[in-house]
């Protein structure tokens, strides 16, 4: 049944009077009726127009753009702030362990820096310390420029090193355990059991791991960590990267004085031992916690006492 409502508010079916202001009656939401009426009467202000267009258009476009960026552009790590905080805590705890452990180790081992140099000089001719090129952590995982720049020379797309060593090169410091110029004729080769190049004192130092003590200086310099994959020479890194599957994975973290592979396998002596070592290194990297580092350090003490894996 159609109801007839006139300006006087008379309803022909119910005879009930209803007062409605015809100037404020507009189609649409009840909340916006008065504002629409004001605009129709030219009462809208400039501030009202700015707020209206900002709320309806600018914030809407900004919201769509923000959602697009968060979905397709923002890295997953940044999208998860909890993971960022967890990674920061892990890095700080490992760095703190390295610095405090290296300082404590150097203090406890200070008598060795007085006695061992004298014994090395008495045992054989040559320097006290032995430095050697090693390959550290690989910080160049990808090209940081997403698109090729339109410039005269794009250095980012070129290798800035004369050769790719697969990681950051550094000099490892050790007490000398071999005769002077041991690899002048043979070139880079692995040390083997009963190696004739190892001196009498050197054999004892290798068994007790005393020759590794100066590497605590490498830890303080930031080239190494207390625990991690052992650093290898550039010659072997290039060779083993082609022969051993997953070898480059071990270069994703800082090398260490000791590691899971060292307490389980000892020194490298063949390609098969390297494959076993890489498996241990990958397991260490993928399951790392600060407690695993502490556990490996305690196992290292047992290895030093028993002489397990020495050559």
67-100 pLDDT, tens digit per residue, is 777 666 666 656 566 777 888 888 999 999 999 9
Quote the CA–CA distance of 123 and 180 in Å, as a whole number. 12
What is the arithmetic mean of pLDDT over 104-131?
93
Can you give the pTM of this predicted structure? 0.66
All structural domains of the chain with their residue ranges: 80-140+158-306
Quote the CA–CA distance of 98 and 120 in Å, as a whole number. 28
Task: Look at the block and give the residue holding tokens 């605590």.
Answer: 216
Q: Say if residue 154's pLDDT is above 50.
A: no
Quote the CA–CA distance of 33 and 50 in Å, as a whole number. 19
Side-chain-facing half-sphere of 168: CA atoms under 13 Å? 15
**pLDDT band at residue 36, thresholds of 50, 70 and 90?**
low
DSSP of 195-250? -TTB-HHHHHHHHHTGGGTTHHHHHHHTS-EEESPPPB-HHHHHHHHHHSTTGGGG
What is the arithmetic mean of pLDDT over 170-180?
92
13 Cβ contact partners less than 8 Å away, ≥ 6 residues apart: 1, 3
Task: Look at the block and give the residue holding tokens 């404590």.
Answer: 104
* pLDDT tens digit sequence for 255-287: 999 999 888 876 666 677 788 889 999 999 999
Helix or strand run (H / E) with residue 258: strand 256-258
> Could you tell me which of 310, 259, 249, 245 has the C-alpha nearest to residue 282?
249
Q: Which residues of 241-266 are buried (b: 16+ CB within 10 A; e: fewer)?
A: beebeebeebbebbbbbbbbbbbbbb
Q: Which residues of 191-229 are buried (b: 16+ CB within 10 A; e: fewer)?
A: beeebeebbebbebbbbebbbbbbbbebbeeebbbbbbb
Q: What pLDDT, on a 0 to 100 scale, did the predictor assign at position 146?
A: 41
């Amino acid at each position: 049944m159609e109801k007839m409502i006139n300006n006087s508010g008379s309803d022909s079916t119910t005879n009930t009077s209803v007062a409605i202001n015809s100037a404020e009656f507009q189609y649409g939401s009840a909340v916006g009726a008065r504002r629409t009426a004001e605009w129709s009467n030219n009462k809208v202000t400039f501030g009202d127009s700015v707020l209206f267009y900002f709320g309806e258009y600018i914030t809407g476009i900004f919201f769509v753009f923000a959602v697009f960026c968060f979905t397709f552009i923002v890295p997953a790590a940044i999208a998860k702030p909890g993971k960022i905080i967890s990674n920061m805590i892990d890095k700080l705890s490992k760095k703190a362990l390295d610095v405090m452990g290296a300082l404590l180790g150097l203090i406890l081992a200070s008598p060795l820096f007085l006695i061992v140099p004298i014994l090395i000089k008495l045992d054989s001719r040559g320097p006290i310390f032995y430095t050697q090129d090693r390959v550290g952590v690989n910080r160049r995982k990808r090209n940081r420029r997403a698109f090729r720049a339109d410039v005269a020379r794009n250095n980012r797309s070129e290798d800035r090193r004369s050769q790719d060593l697969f990681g950051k090169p550094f000099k490892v410091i050790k007490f000398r355990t071999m005769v002077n110029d041991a690899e002048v004729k043979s070139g880079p080769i692995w040390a083997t059991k009963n190696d004739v190049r190892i001196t009498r004192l050197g054999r004892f130092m290798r068994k007790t791991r005393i020759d590794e003590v100066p590497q605590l200086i490498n830890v303080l310099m930031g080239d190494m960590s207390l625990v991690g994959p052992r650093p290898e020479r550039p010659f072997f890194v290039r060779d083993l990267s082609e022969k051993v599957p997953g070898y480059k994975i071990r270069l994703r973290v800082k090398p260490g004085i000791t590691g899971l592979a060292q307490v389980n396998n000892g020194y490298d002596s063949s390609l098969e031992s390297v494959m076993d070592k890489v498996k241990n290194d990958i397991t260490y990297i993928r399951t790392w916690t600060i407690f695993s580092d502490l556990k490996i350090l305690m196992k290292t003490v047992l290895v030093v006492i028993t002489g397990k894996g020495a050559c």
